[in-house]
């Protein structure tokens, strides 16, 4: 793997496929050599120790989510509630949290299990599949569409729009970096327009779904504006169609490469919930999150300036030996596992209960149906940087 810390400049480069495939050694190097370093190209600060990352996440008055730079994600306004800080953000969370409560998500578990079995029915007899396309993408994406009350027939369009925002180079390979923002802007306009039409339909004919609920929702006696609902939908689209898919792929890639760990889950499915937590810690698909520094602050002896855009390296925090006992060992029975995979503080992931339920059910069903699997001989999984999705994960098993 190319050095994550450039020997000449001392700057940090996290945007390589090699780093995405196996980032843990680089995390160790960062924490030990430069716990607060600087990114290549931009010179922006990057923070890697658990205590520093968690402190920043819990202090939005200093490390803010309100940043105009993220309008570059193709949005016309900040996404709600992710790009708004307390106290305004708190009002939206109180409205949205009940839609994603643990109880509601558990009620949805049998539907996820049924769909997981249907997907496996399509390829189990073949003895092989490309896991990302065959299972990791359709399972959580279908759940997202069901929750919002959107037709499954629109899934391909949604996936293309999502990639246009998060991975524009996937849609337009070879396009120069300075032109990728145009791809994001085009995708953003299409997302807004799709949800405008969907909301118009529900105003004319209400349904029993989340979009209709948002049209009726009130904060302090006032209905949400159309733009507020659109900004919520934009966030739900990006989060609902990407992060669980990425996590499933990372989890299965790890288990396929570590048969002794996989066999433990097959022998004792009761370990799966704690294995989900441990793999969230170890694999951490959402590698990093950005924050705008609102006032001068010192971390690890490094002075950070107001107006800088900092990167909080969640993956490095989650493998920090200073916080986790034996952090470099994957332990499915880890007792204290306060990882940061879902963030922390007021911006902690809105859909964490949904994600945990989907991951648990998916891994339970998969290991019931296909307990013995491995990476197809002669093949190498391929990962995306940024959000670590196993874009290509060929698996094989005995028929």
Burial 300-320 (b: 16+ CB within 10 A, else e): eeeebeeebbbbbbbbbbbbb
In whole angstroms, give the CA distance from residue 240 to residue 7.
39
CA angle 360/365/368 to nearest 5° reads 125
Where are any strands of DSSP class E within 276-339? Answer: 288-293, 297-299, 302-304, 309-313
Residue 11, pLDDT score: 83
Residue 230, pLDDT score: 95
In whole angstroms, give the CA distance from residue 250 to residue 3.
22
Handedness of CA 120, 121, 124, 128 (dihedral sign): negative
Q: Are 313 and 27 in contact (CB under 8 A)?
A: yes
In a domain, 3, yes or no: no
Tally the residues of the chain.
399
The CATH number that applies at residue 243 is: 1.10.630.10
Residue 342, pLDDT score: 96
In whole angstroms, give the CA distance from residue 17 to residue 389.
11
In whole angstroms, give the CA distance from residue 168 to residue 118.
31
In a domain, 31, yes or no: yes
**Rg of the chain's alpha carbons, rounded to an integer?**
21
In whole angstroms, give the CA distance from residue 399 to residue 386.
35
Per-residue pLDDT of the chain (399 residues; tens, 9 = 90+): 556 787 777 788 887 778 889 999 999 999 998 899 998 878 899 999 999 999 999 999 999 999 764 546 778 888 999 999 999 999 999 999 999 999 999 999 999 999 999 999 999 999 999 999 999 999 998 888 888 889 888 888 888 888 888 877 776 777 776 677 888 888 899 999 999 999 999 999 999 899 999 999 999 899 999 999 999 999 998 888 889 999 999 999 999 999 999 999 999 999 999 999 999 999 999 999 999 999 999 998 899 999 999 999 999 999 999 999 999 999 999 998 999 999 999 999 999 999 999 999 999 999 999 999 999 999 999 998 878 999 999 999 998
In a domain, 55, yes or no: yes
> How many structural domains are present in the chain?
1
What 3-state class would DSSP assign to 380?
coil
Residue 69, pLDDT score: 46
| Domain span including residue 137 | 17-396
In a domain, 1, yes or no: no
Residue 7, pLDDT score: 75
Token pair in block for residue 29? 């190097």
In whole angstroms, give the CA distance from residue 273 to residue 337.
12
Helix (H) or strand (E) run with residue 115 in it = helix 109-123
In a domain, 10, yes or no: no
In a domain, 221, yes or no: yes
In a domain, 284, yes or no: yes
In a domain, 366, yes or no: yes
In whole angstroms, give the CA distance from residue 209 to residue 191.
19
């Amino acid at each position: 793997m190319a050095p994550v810390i450039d020997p000449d400049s001392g700057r940090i480069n996290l945007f390589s496929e090699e780093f995405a495939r196996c980032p843990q050694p680089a995390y160790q190097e960062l924490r030990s050599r430069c716990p607060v370093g600087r990114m290549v190209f931009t010179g922006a600060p990057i923070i890697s120790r658990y205590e520093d990352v968690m402190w920043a996440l819990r202090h939005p008055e200093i490390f803010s989510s309100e940043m105009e730079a993220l309008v570059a994600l193709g949005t016309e306004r900040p996404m709600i509630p992710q790009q708004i800080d307390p106290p305004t953000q708190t009002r939206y969370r109180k409205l949205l949290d009940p839609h994603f409560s643990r109880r509601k998500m558990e009620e949805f578990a049998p539907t996820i299990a049924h769909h997981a079995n249907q997907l496996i029915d399509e390829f189990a007899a073949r003895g092989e599949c490309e896991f990302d396309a065959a299972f990791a993408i359709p399972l959580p994406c279908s759940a997202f569409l069901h929750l919002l009350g959107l037709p499954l027939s629109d899934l391909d369009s949604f996936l293309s729009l999502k990639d246009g925002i998060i991975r524009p180079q996937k849609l337009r390979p070879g396009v120069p970096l300075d032109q990728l923002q145009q791809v994001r802007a085009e995708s953003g306009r299409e997302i807004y327009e799709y949800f405008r039409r969907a909301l118009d339909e529900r105003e004319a004919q209400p349904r029993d779904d989340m979009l209709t609920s948002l049209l009726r929702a009130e904060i302090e006696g006032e209905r949400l504006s159309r733009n507020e609902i659109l900004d919520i939908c934009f966030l739900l689209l990006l989060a609902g169609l990407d992060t669980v898919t990425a996590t499933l792929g990372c989890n299965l890639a790890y288990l396929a490469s570590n048969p002794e760990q996989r066999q433990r889950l097959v022998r004792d499915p009761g370990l799966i919930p704690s294995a989900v937590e441990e793999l969230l810690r170890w694999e951490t698909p959402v590698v990093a999150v950005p924050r705008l520094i609102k006032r001068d602050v010192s971390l690890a002896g490094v002075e950070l300036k107001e107006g800088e855009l900092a990167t909080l390296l969640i993956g490095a925090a989650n493998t920090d030996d200073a916080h986790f006992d034996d952090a470099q060992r994957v332990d499915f029975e880890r007792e204290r596992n306060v990882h940061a995979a879902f963030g922390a503080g007021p911006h902690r992931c809105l859909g964490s209960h949904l994600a945990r339920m989907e991951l648990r059910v998916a891994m339970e069903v998969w290991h019931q149906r296909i307990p013995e699997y491995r990476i197809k001989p002669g093949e190498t999984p391929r990962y995306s940087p940024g959000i670590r999705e196993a874009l290509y994960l060929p698996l094989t098993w005995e028929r």
